[in-house]
Amino acid sequence: MIRPARFRALCCALGDVEERPHFDRTAFRTPRRTFATLGPSGEDVNVLIPLELQDLLVTSHPSAFERIDNAWGAQGWTRMLLRNVDETTCREVLREAYVLATPVPKAKPAGARAKAKPTAAKGSKGTAKAKPVAKGLKRTAKAKSAAKASKGTAKAKRGR
């Protein structure tokens, strides 16, 4: 039997885990996604695990694990009854759920180079339209003054 306080400790011991409210439950999540939710009574947990593990646990420990009976269950969400599961099994299931929810680092191939900037096609005059600044990026002072100047010109043309 796992008590809610012990379950919280097991989740937080996994690494970069945040505990936050999730409807009537308490969610435990990595920076990428939620991997477990503790019920309001503290008796059950919904945990996201690989489908193969879900099938294995539901058939081998039916008193402790059951597939959630909706589309969430088809994705791997499984109900775990804390009163019927031992700490070792709970820890292993949480580790699997945590790994599934952990962000995958973007691997760069060895010796990879940055992509070259596109050049003007042969025969073109080499002028290209300016690309819009990505949302959230700061504009340089030169770009700001150019933008102000173009706005002023547009206003002057409309006023005529």
- Return the SS3 of 17: coil
106-144 confidence digits (pLDDT tens): 877 776 665 655 555 555 555 555 555 455 445 555 555
* Domain total of the chain: 1
List the strands of the sheet with 65-67, edge to edge. 18-22, 25-29, 34-38, 44-48, 77-81, 65-67
Residue 24 lies in a domain: yes
Give me the CATH number covering residue 89.
3.90.1150.30
**Residue 148 is assigned to a structural domain of this protein:** no
Residue 83 lies in a domain: yes
Mean pLDDT estimate for the chain? 83
- 86 lies in a domain? yes
Q: How far is residue 126 from each of residues 46, 122, 146, measured CA to CA in Å?
A: 58, 9, 20
Q: For residue 42, is it within any domain?
A: yes
